[in-house]
Amino acid sequence: MSLGAIAMGAGTVMTAISHISAGKVAESQGKAREDIALYNQRQLDRTADARLDEARFDDFRIARRARIALGSSIAKAGASGVAASEVSLADTAYQYAIDRNLTMRRGLIGSRELKQQGRIMAAEGTYAHAIGRAQKRAAYLKAGKSILSGGYGAFQALPSGGSPSVDQGSFIG
């Protein structure tokens, strides 16, 4: 074999290894991005659950304040001998109900938005991993192409133009 053919073959192998390494790196990066996105999704889900719990707690506090305020109004009216106005009591109860609904609505909407952001992040991460796997497959194909074309070039670089002769030795014993 000539030195040119050996050098061409070595270059081909190095090119193929380089392509394979690049493909493995691309897949690893995609997997890392997916792992980070899934972690972020779990964090957002926990934050969403906490926001909903906070809204429930605030709702409970508002309901308690409403009971205290209504009870106080009724007690004051009874102590003074003046009947409490049903309209006044109903209005107070209505205002507290509006506050409770608004608090729960904000908590629920905030929670849903965070969960949706988490789902989007997870989808982006899954997509990044899929892209990394596709790049790895493409790199393996490029490596195969390099080996085939480099092998053919090395074969053509043989002194006899690609045809082994009896003088160079034959693979057939």
Q: Which two tokens stand for residue 62?
A: 């508002």
CA distances in angstroms from 83 to 25, 46, 51, 65, listed in the order given: 80, 49, 41, 22
Largest CA distance in the chain: 128
CA end-to-end distance (rounded Å), the chain: 17
Q: Which tokens belong to 134?
A: 């596709």
- Domain range list for the chain: 3-156
pLDDT tens digits for the chain (173 residues)? 577 777 777 888 888 899 899 999 999 999 999 999 999 999 999 999 999 999 999 999 999 999 998 888 888 777 776 666 777 788 888 999 999 999 999 999 999 999 999 999 999 999 999 999 999 999 999 998 888 887 777 677 666 655 555 455 544 54
- DSSP 8-state class, residue 160: T
Percent of the chain past pLDDT 90, that is, above it, reads 57
At 39, the amino acid letter reads Y
Residue 52: Cβ within 10 Å count: 18
